[in-house]
Structure 1
């Protein structure tokens, strides 16, 4: 499971024992309180949206350093801490069925902070559509947590699972980073780069997006005929307007099929045409427009209109903050079993630190500089 010293995020079973979960919650609570006091709520959101910082927090509280649970457990603990404390930040959503409660929980948070709920619900839906439809790498979303502060800023951490290889990929968003939801909007993506990805949100996909909107404005029946003509291309039929070699068609088709079925949802296209969608954001939000339909449309754009999406995987951060696993150890005994005494000493130290003023904390900041250049023993870095 290792590549050049970098961990993947494999699917792990098991659970966090109660004695460890209680300590994780207390330690996470102390860390977040210190962060709010030092950097404000925006500073907390910015860090949650940082793949390396998020993974480091996971390691600090004692979770596995290289598992899919590093997202679900850590995000769940942070959400629980924020729900019990009045820190100016709340969270909605979670893993599986909990993610479907996001809209209702966002309404509750919006009432609490006097925000416009529908704006955040729309953002939640659009972000999920971007990472499941507009960006396709074989990962199916199953985890979505939406953090909101009292000023209306937000961060989103969501994760997908590739069921074939049983590996996870984590997507991070931060409101202050997003200029466009459909042009390189992520704060970061944690995972191992794939050989290719259907990436329709890369900056070089602007022409693709424009042409796609033009094609969708046409009759769904016409688009369906074009999909069938592409199928004919794969069987050797060569139309006069695009002299593709059969070998080339098959290689392009195979690349799309590696991501799943190619099926057109005509009802979704009819709805898009009726509504007269004028932006890629609006198109993605059309009910029924899923990954298979976008694959069909993209295939038509490539082989009929000679307009291409990007196939560059936008992963920014391979998960690797292994250094922080040395704080208290790891749940799966890597790099060593969690030491309860050390864990309790750390909690006690942070509790006392929280009581002190910012001036006194400066001393601690100076001490942390000592560890910045420390390297972990490479031989201890192994998958759990």
Structure 2
């Protein structure tokens, strides 16, 4: 069982002042520890798997309400609270991060051995990265990759991609109850939040089921030389040139108008394949490994976005298996309301007031201390407040 979500965020520059970062870490740590202590590690993962809740958490601790830096701040606040070595003590560990830190998952996963199977965590990390960079091609390049691991085996992967041209970042959430068990047979997206919706090559969508099967079958049954020729035919069609078929039969089912109409539906997908020779190398490797499922295909070393797109184009333009172009966004969700808790670093909806954050920190510190001693006074207060806020939100 998997839950997915996506959020688009504008690229912001600048840094968080030290006085504010210190408070963000403290408050974020207290809130996260409270949820873990009261509801368990799996509940925190479940909440973070929702892009709206993730962003609301970011807003409450004082970060810009719509910044691409939200992912970085939340990740490192939680990693500071639950480092890779903390799984045995807290039942939760955070791995990976931004840039080089994203490459450290394999090494950090070794610290989980003895509690969880490190290999399955690494495989989950790798598979998730390939889902959002190869199977889903939406114009974003991944640069943040973080894992949130529960002692019960659940893994939440939060990664972020950048679209430099549009100056926005997109965040992907993947929650797997059982790490190492991969399935791409049905649409894995739920709770998708985004302000930008554009056509994408979406081989994860339910409508791409026949295309996924066709891709695996084509790679299995088509001789490599024939497959390369088919990619050349696809390129001619996309360039508006007559195919060899038109010379033999006096015409082609893929006339220029038909191809032009297809290109307009999803420009990021309907474009010529640049390196056709690369397809030959990848196809030979795939034949040797003989994947039976699309999920197995994604894990084959050397298979990149361009190679998979090329095979998808063959399945589409030659065999008629058109993939889904649905952007995995379901509806825009705006957690701006939560920014009113302490304000935002950028002054929206108002400048952060450090003393107000300190008061919240003091309150949650008391809540956690009371939990240790068995007192439920502040806990009951929080629950009553939550019910009140729920009624207020319904009236907004």
TM-score for both structures, normalised by structure 2: 0.87
Partner in structure 2 of residue 224 of structure 1: 228
Partner in structure 1 of residue 59 of structure 2: 59
SS for the counterpart of 1:342 is: helix
Contact between 2:182 and 2:295, CA under 8 Å: does it hold in 1? Answer: no
- Confirm whether residue 143 of structure 1 aligns to residue 144 of structure 2: yes
CA distance in 2, matches of 1:262, 1:76: 39
Partner in structure 1 of residue 80 of structure 2: 80
1:318, CA displacement in angstroms? 2.9
Partner in structure 2 of residue 367 of structure 1: 385
Contact between 2:211 and 2:316, CA under 8 Å: does it hold in 1? Answer: no
Contact between 2:234 and 2:272, CA under 8 Å: does it hold in 1? Answer: no
2:253 pairs with one of 243, 247, 263: 243
CA distance in 1, matches of 2:304, 2:334: 32
1:319, CA displacement in angstroms? 4.7
1:280, CA displacement in angstroms? 0.6
Contact between 2:58 and 2:65, CA under 8 Å: does it hold in 1? Answer: yes
1:180, CA displacement in angstroms? 2.1
Partner in structure 1 of residue 200 of structure 2: 197
Distance 1:187 1:81, change over 3 A: farther
1:98-153 C-alpha deviation (Å, 9 max, x unpaired)? 10111111122234x2x211111111111110111101110111111011111211
1:233, CA displacement in angstroms? 2.4
Contact between 1:51 and 1:317, CA under 8 Å: does it hold in 2? Answer: no
CA distance in 2, matches of 1:334, 1:25: 20
1:194, CA displacement in angstroms? 2.1
- Confirm whether residue 127 of structure 1 aligns to residue 145 of structure 2: no
1:30-83 C-alpha deviation (Å, 9 max, x unpaired)? 111110122111101111111111111100110010111011111111111112
Partner in structure 2 of residue 3 of structure 1: none
1:206-255 C-alpha deviation (Å, 9 max, x unpaired)? 11111100111122321111111122224341535951221221343465
1:265-284 C-alpha deviation (Å, 9 max, x unpaired)? 32222111111111111111
CA distance in 1, matches of 2:267, 2:331: 27
1:204, CA displacement in angstroms? 1.8
Contact between 1:169 and 1:189, CA under 8 Å: does it hold in 2? Answer: no
CA distance in 2, matches of 1:242, 1:203: 30
CA distance in 2, matches of 1:284, 1:183: 15
1:90 pairs with one of 90, 93, 97: 93
CA distance in 1, matches of 2:100, 2:369: 39
Partner in structure 1 of residue 3 of structure 2: none
SS for the counterpart of 1:311 is: coil
Contact between 1:127 and 1:181, CA under 8 Å: does it hold in 2? Answer: no
CA distance in 2, matches of 1:341, 1:248: 63
TM-score for both structures, normalised by structure 1: 0.89
CA distance in 1, matches of 2:97, 2:227: 37
CA distance in 2, matches of 1:65, 1:303: 43
Distance 1:317 1:55, change over 3 A: farther
Partner in structure 1 of residue 37 of structure 2: 37
Runs of 4+ in 1 over 6 A off after TM superposition: none
CA distance in 2, matches of 1:186, 1:110: 30
Aligned residues: 369
